[in-house]
Structure 1
Amino acid sequence: MSSPDIKDIRRLLTAAFSGTALEWYDYFLYGTASALVFNKLFFPELDPTVGTIASFLTFAVGFVARPIGAAVFGHVGDRYGRKVSLIITVVMMGITTGLIGLLPSYATIGIWAPALLSLLRFLQGISVGGEWSGAMLLTLEHTPKEKHGSYSSIPQLGSPVGTLLSSGVFALVGLLPDDAFYSWGWRIPFLLAFPLLLVALYLRIHIEESPVFRAMLEDAEKNGPKPAPLIEAFRRTWGRMIIGIGAAFLGVGGFFLMSTFIISYGTDELGVDKQVMLNATVIGAVVEILVLIVAGRLADRIGAWTVCALGGVITMLIAFPAFWLVDTKQTGLIYLGVALGIGALSIPYAPIGAVVSTMFPEEFRYSAVAMSYNLAGVLSGFVPLLATSLTSAADGASWGAALLLVIIAACTVAGSWSAGLLYKRRGSALTTRTAPADHAEVSA
């Protein structure tokens, strides 16, 4: 395969980043609204703490749905193309997010309100289950392997930009008086999903299909289709999928701990104004952008798995200090604590796509990568709920949430280190074949 033109690479990276940013904007809106709005409007008859837990349960529903999306869109991506899969996911996400902004509250339709909210969140989860892996594979399958560390960080920039957009829009509508905010202001960020969908759809339609998939298609036409991708992924590489789950855990679960949970913790437990907590996540997103760029470039020099493991260790060291800073209730120190936490966990998030994608053969790579990442997402979806429960059991103290962040980071250190050992053992053959003794190798 000839080297891609630099203009084609830039066009692809722009499309991958922009589309992913818009998709994550839609997805992250729900997390912010779970902490600020849904507990009051969709679970008003519950105790405030119980209402927050119920709100985070609907938040977790989206993560439970993600493996379903991974299975569906992994199959579509491996059989019909990465581009086709990404077009479907972005349309589904845009429509479901916009519909959330149109939902009546509990006061209007009773129990149907949280039921419909949960359904739409479930559909969001299915959509995002196929999004990340498709955008990442399109990027890496178009670009030189020696630059995969830095190139894999480009789609990851969609996460903080999506956070900036969602938190920024919520910060603006948060300036409204409470009556206006809770009656109609909170709906504006969700309704913006409709026009943003048109932008995302245009970008996705103009993405070139992966050259790796085109080669797979030619092979299938000559030799017939391969076995069901997801079944093959579980049968031949289940051990590597477990490694991928661990390596990806911090970048997903840690992020929601330091964004979705921290907003709820600051406003409900510490009594900090919601605007301060929203501003903290905005600052954290800016820090994340800078860290992703630096960590991606560092991955080209010292290896993607090394950067992931290093980021996990750093997060373990700053977990408690980050929460102690937030506990001071001082605005500047809250900003610093959230920025430190998000900045540290962004280090492994930058090159995780390069780590996970190189572990799987081409013929079922989309399915395997999507399932690994989204099973980590399932665990991550319960992180805010678990952190809230731990904090409540500790009478509002933050040590339980900080310890949870340490445990999540330790999982990523173990997963990243194992990925590195596997990569060293098998070298470049990881991208083209699967060893017969895979199970024994992974458990060794």
Structure 2
Amino acid sequence: MTDTRDMAHPRAEDAVGNRRQLRRVYFASLIGTTVEFYDFIVFGVAASLVFGRVFFDSTSESLGTILSFAILAIGYAARPLGGIIFGHFGDRVGRKSTLLWTMILMGLSTFLIGCLPSSAQIGVLAPILLVTLRLIQGIAVGGEWGGAVLMAVEHAPKKSRGFFGGAASLGSGAGVLLAYGAFALLNNLDDEAFLTWGWRLPFLFSVVVVAIGLYVRLRVEESPVFESVQHSSEATEKPPIPLIEVFRERPGKVLLGIGTVSGTFMSQAIVSTFLISYAATHYGLSRSTLLTLLNVSLVIMIFTIPFFSFISDKVGRRQIFIPAAVGYAVFAFVMFPMVGSGSPLIILATFIIGMAILNSAATGTSATLLSELFPTKFRYTGAGVAYQFAGLIGGGIGPLLASIFVAPGGIGPIGVSIMLAAFCTLSAICAYRIGDNRTVDLSDA
């Protein structure tokens, strides 16, 4: 006679093992994206604070800033290419191995940026090498996001997909915090020390965070949704190229995904990078004060992203995302006067509204929104390409246009506000058109 206790025991062990694996997956998605975005945002911070003087020392300050943001935009321009390249391998070979390669590439390119000589030392070769390494950064982070999101979403129970999808967004927020925190630690350096060697330290520190990220990711199992599709009868036939397949079957979904994320992505990029450069240059505010106040909002964001991700499982992704996009459209017209007030409390409120509330609500739900749009056979490619093209528009072109608007002879910050409001309105409309996909079975999508 079979002992029912023996029958129950394996199931209990399986449940404990599943919970342990889910915790590992969530943490791996979080820490991996933290590493990638730390490396990527460190470049953005340096572009707004120092690259104009280090790599374009023979130009005017305003032109040096524009050229620095142009190189920043190049990284965003490379992100769709990374989404295509690594999306292909992620859909054909697997999520886990692809993510390991993106992390290695990102860490190596970031470390080498920290070793670059200035233009005063090697002339025009310095910005050329900077552009090359920025391209590698962009390709790596372009392949990272989709895989990190899918590893979490495809492991998660249906009722918790929003919360697990928010892990990558939480990691991106933590990466931004870590990047700005690294520069904040250098506040006591004088300008000469900061320009000579201080700015390099956050780039060199990338070796440490990448080593931690690789260790965590090696302990995570492959996505069960991906493995089930690979073992199905359809997988015995050679599948077409994922990029071609996604544009043949769901081109409208890709465009909706791009439109959904581009506006909120642009707002986040403007608030976290461009606004600091503008405030320091035009309002005479200290770099250390701005970074400190931004870091406070980023600490709060570490708690608000999981909150909004969790709530999205209860009320729906769009019910969180659309109000955030509309809120950003309105906020675009008040953030410059708020920062221009010079009051630390008002500036802090600016960063809290822009990052800890609006950005958290948008990024905490957008990852799962995009993941639920595509079937497993090309989900890595579809979600990754949509997100990265939105990043090119919002995170690359947005700050570049903003720097042109506020340059001498430009239309000023009102042009930046109008641009943000228009793109965020587009984001809200596209998110509404996506529909509610919370009940979609990812194995059948």
Q: Where on the TM-score scale, by shorter chain, does this alignment land: which range?
A: over 0.9
For structure 1, the residue ranges without an aligned partner over 5 or more in a row are: 434-444
Q: How does 1:124-273 map to 2 (within 5 A)?
A: 124-219=137-232, 223-273=236-286
Shift of 1:374: 0.4
Q: 1:350 aligns with which of 351, 359, 364?
A: 364
3-state SS of paired residue (2:40)? helix
Q: Deviations along 1:239-276, whole A, 9 cap, x unmatched?
A: 00011111122342211110110111111121111111
Matched, 1:361 2:383: no
Structural mapping, 1:265-414, within 5 Å: 265-342=278-355, 343-380=357-394, 381-392=396-407, 397-414=412-429
| Distance (whole Å) between structure 2 residues aligned to residue 109 and residue 115 of structure 1 | 11
Deviation (angstroms), 1:306: 2.1
Q: Distance in 2 between matches of 1:178 and 1:332?
A: 26
* Residue 237 of structure 1, CA deviation: 0.7
Please tell me the residue identity of whatever aligns with 1:420: G
Match of 1:432 in 2: 444
Report what 1:113 is aligned to.
126
**Residue in structure 2 matched with residue 438 of structure 1 by the alignment:** none
Classify the secondary structure of the residue corresponding to 1:35: helix
> Aligned AA for 2:428?
V
Shift of 1:44: 1.1
| Structure 2 CA distance for aligned equivalents of residues 340 and 22 of structure 1 | 25
Contact 1:269 1:396 in 2 (8 A): no
**CA distance in 2 between partners of 1:431 and 1:252 (Å):** 29
Quote how far apart the aligned CAs of 1:373 are.
0.5
> What is the DSSP-based 3-state SS (H/G/I as helix, E as strand, rest coil) of the residue aligned with 2:374?
coil
1-structure distance, mates of 2:233, 2:183: 48
The amino acid that maps onto 2:434 is: A
1:418 corresponds to which of 419, 433, 439: 433
Say how many residue pairs are matched: 429
Deviates more, 1:8-17 or 1:89-98: 8-17
Contact persistence 2:90–2:147 (CA under 8 A): yes
* Partner Cα distance (2:209, 2:423) in 1: 33
Which amino acid in 2 is paired with 1:8? Q
TM-score (norm 2): 0.92
Superposition CA RMSD, Å: 1.9
Report how far residue 401 of structure 1 moved.
2.0
| Contact 1:247/1:416 (8 A) holds in 2 | yes
Q: CA deviation at 1:16?
A: 1.2
* 1:429 shift after superposition: 7.0
**Matched position secondary structure for 2:210:** helix
Percent of pairs with identical residues: 35
Asked whether the 8 Å contact 2:229–2:443 carries over to 1, the reply is no
Question: For residue 17 of structure 1, what is the amino acid of its counterpart?
Answer: L
Q: Which runs of structure 1 show a deviation greater than 6 angstroms over 4 or more consecutive aligned residues?
A: none
Please identify, of 71-80 and 248-257, the stretch whose mean Cα deviation from structure 2 is larger: 248-257
What is the rounded CA distance, in whole Å, between the counterparts of 1:220 and 1:103 in structure 2?
A: 51
Bigger mean CA offset, 148-157 vs 365-374: 148-157
Cα contact 1:250–1:348 (8 A) shared by 2? no
